[in-house]
Amino acid sequence: MTVNERLSEELGISGRQVNAAVELLDGGNTVPFIARYRKEVTGGLDDEQLRRLSERLNYLRSLEEKRESVLNLINEQGKLTDEIREALAAAKTVTEIDDIYRPFRPKRKTRASVAKERGLEPLAALIFEQRASYSPSIAESAAEFINEELGVPDADSAIAGALDIIAEDISDSAEYRKAIRKITADFGYIESKKAEDGPVYEQYYEYNERLSKIPPHRILAINRGEKEGVLKVSVTVDREAVLNYLTGEVVTDFSSPAFPLISRTICDSYDRLIAPSIEREIRSDIFDEASESAIGVFSSNLKHLLMGAPLKGKTVLGYDPGYRTGCKLAVVTQTGKVVATAVIYPTKPHEKIEESKKVVKRIIERFGVDVIAIGNGTASGESEMFIAETLREIGGKTKYVIVSEAGASVYSASKLGAEEFPDFDVTQRSAVSIARRLQDPLAELVKIDPKSIGVGQYQHDMKPARLDEALSGVVEDCVNAVGVDLNTASYSLLSYISGINSASAKNIVKYRDENGGFARRSDVLKVPRFGEKAYEQAAGFLRVPGSADVLDNTGVHPESYGAARGLLEKFGITDETLSGGSVPGLLGKVKEYGVKKLAEELGCGEPSLLYIASELEKPGRDVRDDAPAPILRDRVLTINDLTVGMKLRGTVRNVIDFGAFVDIGVHQDGLVHISEISDRFIKHPSEVLSVGDVVDVTVKSVDTARGRIGLTMKG
């Protein structure tokens, strides 16, 4: 199979679609651009399908390079046969290719290599023939290889060396290794035992589970426990079953005088060479699989967090809780502008509660604060009670919400944070970040390393490059799905737009600062080193709300402006109507007229026509507006207020393999275990829940001593 044929088979996508997508990717087109503006070419592949295709394409091409490299290396040794060539062609993984290359790989010094240097290969071949009878005997033949200068003092030493050669040959067999790997993977167990005290890993002190059944999060937990020195971990399998398999494959004559020697060698080969190697390979494989699963969960959580509904048209007071250094406040207007900052000291050790209330009340009144966003870090519990009491005294419409401040300190201490607010200290920047991530989660969270946002599991155990690749893809897809205002977007947001890298993003912001805002989309071509290819990839994702051309504030690509204008003319829609905000029913009119007929008249593809019509129905729309809005509160709950059976509404903060954590307005998120999510059986919580979902839950258990809350969604 070619790479493209394998992609088609593995991903369940037609060969035509695969060929088209690969050609576009190779042509320097980005996944977001292809997914939105080349649907006719790819047959409608979406961004997730294209992302998987792109990742798999890179892997398979690397595999082909490996296959070609190994073939050439074996050929250079003069040992390439048709059988080896066919085996390499059939290999589907790097492991299988490595198995084939193993006998030809230059080896470090081993017992077998030493035996070969001592000239014992002929004796090994003689023994491995497993003749029905030997004359002279094996011992007599071995005596002929005695050579004290070479380190073979007697016949027994010669036989031992010959058996070392046979043991390594057995170990090097790709066929045997593949079979033993499968036996171990299908029927083996992973076991962990206590190495030293570590309460977090108590459940794994005496633990074993089938390799084929163990879920990803337990693999990662056991690996971390081993890494921290708390656990000793091993892979076990029925040794006799493996030895029986090897014996059946290796032994050709059970009555041969060589059988006792061969039998002993099989045991040695498995115990000393094969088993440790297979264990390492299998543990590496299951870790990679668990990592991919965890990365998938992390990616899904991140996507839903970034695509959370923005709190539009609200003035927000960002509140970064603290003790000794006080609580930092920052007022952020509806447009994201910081108009005031302050520090109050309502918490220990200062407890200047009345003085702090006056400051908060004055800020709310002066700036018309609609919502107070409280970070969920240190002192957030006391801060929530302080704010709830203050709002109760005011009696107005101001509400509060607890906001995850994961990563806020990372942003605050970053170069970007210092560039945005050079006169603020790190805690003031945190208060601004907390407010802005409520107003526009996507615009604010792209400034932070995704790994620091806190919606994954075991992210610090993942392979950094693979995790970064996956999460960057998620951020890129989210930013492009929403689009950005060319005249207000930060360079960190612009850098994720299709076709725009960090350098180009900084050039755009610099040009904007020096020359004022862009009047039209096409004006971005005036930016130094921003060429036609970059414009092709980026234009559809850039918005210019004040442009004289209303299409510049839609997702319609400039290459389709002609078709869009033809569509408007067809149904008598003017720019004034379009500027008014929406053209309801346009998509229905297109379908009623006939999509195929109209597409032919306008000279565009059917998918493009449908997309243009949907964009013109609601120009400038935000796809995030359909997401659940954040829950605003005006009263405080503590864990002591909870009772079993209490019904509450909460927001999903994190989805993991064994359940989901839900913010129910208490300082500690509650856990809905996977078994409590649905009345029907589900394999993973993500089948039902996503980060940002607003859900109704019932308190199932409360452990105030350990700060644990059990919730259920059943019923």
Domains in the chain, CATH or no CATH each: 3-104 (1.10.10.650), 111-188+237-298 (1.10.3500.10), 316-478 (3.30.420.140), 509-626 (1.10.150.310), 639-712 (2.40.50.140)
Max CA distance (Å), the chain = 108
How many other CB atoms are there within 10 angstroms of residue 647's CB atom?
Answer: 8
Q: Please report which confidence band the pLDDT of residue 1 belongs to, taking 50, 70 and 90 as the band edges.
A: confident
Pairing of strands 659-663, 647-656: antiparallel
Q: Is the pLDDT of residue 122 over 90?
A: yes
| Cis amide bond preceding 136, omega within 30 | yes
Q: Is the pLDDT of residue 210 over 80?
A: yes
Q: Is the pLDDT of residue 526 over 80?
A: yes
> Regarding predicted confidence, which is higher, 599 or 636?
599
> For the residues 185-194, what does the mean pLDDT come to?
97
Helix (H, G, I), strand (E, B) or coil at 29: coil
Q: Is the pLDDT of residue 469 over 80?
A: yes
Which candidate, 540, 416, 553, 580, places its Cα nearest to that of 487? Answer: 553
Q: Is the pLDDT of residue 406 over 80?
A: yes
Q: Which residue has the tokens 């709830």?
A: 388
pLDDT of residue 665: 85
d(CA 154, CA 145): 8
pLDDT per residue as tens digits for the range 479-494: 999 999 999 999 999 9
d(CA 557, CA 535): 10
pLDDT of residue 30: 97
Lowest mean pLDDT among 18-32, 70-84, 573-587, 636-650: 573-587
d(CA 518, CA 547): 8
Burial of 136 (0-12, 13-18, 19+ CB in 10 A): exposed
Tokens of 302: 């991140």
d(CA 330, CA 427): 10
d(CA 37, CA 418): 37
CB under 8 A, 24+ apart: contacts of 411-416: 411/447, 411/448, 414/447, 416/447, 416/492
SS (H, E, C) 488-542: CCCHHHHCCCCCCCHHHHHHHHHHHHHHCCCCCHHHHHHCCCCCHHHHHHHHHHE
Q: Please report which confidence band the pLDDT of residue 48 belongs to, taking 50, 70 and 90 as the band edges.
A: very high
Q: Is the pLDDT of residue 609 over 80?
A: yes
* Residue 645 phi, psi dihedral angles, 5° rounding: 100, -10
Q: Is the pLDDT of residue 584 over 90?
A: no
* Residue 147 phi, psi dihedral angles, 5° rounding: -160, 100
Q: Please report which confidence band the pLDDT of residue 101 belongs to, taking 50, 70 and 90 as the band edges.
A: very high
Which candidate, 166, 175, 73, places its Cα nearest to that of 127? Answer: 166
d(CA 160, CA 152): 10
Q: Is the pLDDT of residue 191 over 90?
A: yes
Q: Is the pLDDT of residue 557 over 80?
A: yes
Q: Please report which confidence band the pLDDT of residue 321 belongs to, taking 50, 70 and 90 as the band edges.
A: very high
Q: Is the pLDDT of residue 427 over 80?
A: yes
Tokens of 36: 């939105």
> For the residues 31-37, what does the mean pLDDT come to?
97
Q: What average pLDDT does the chain have?
A: 94
pLDDT of residue 274: 98
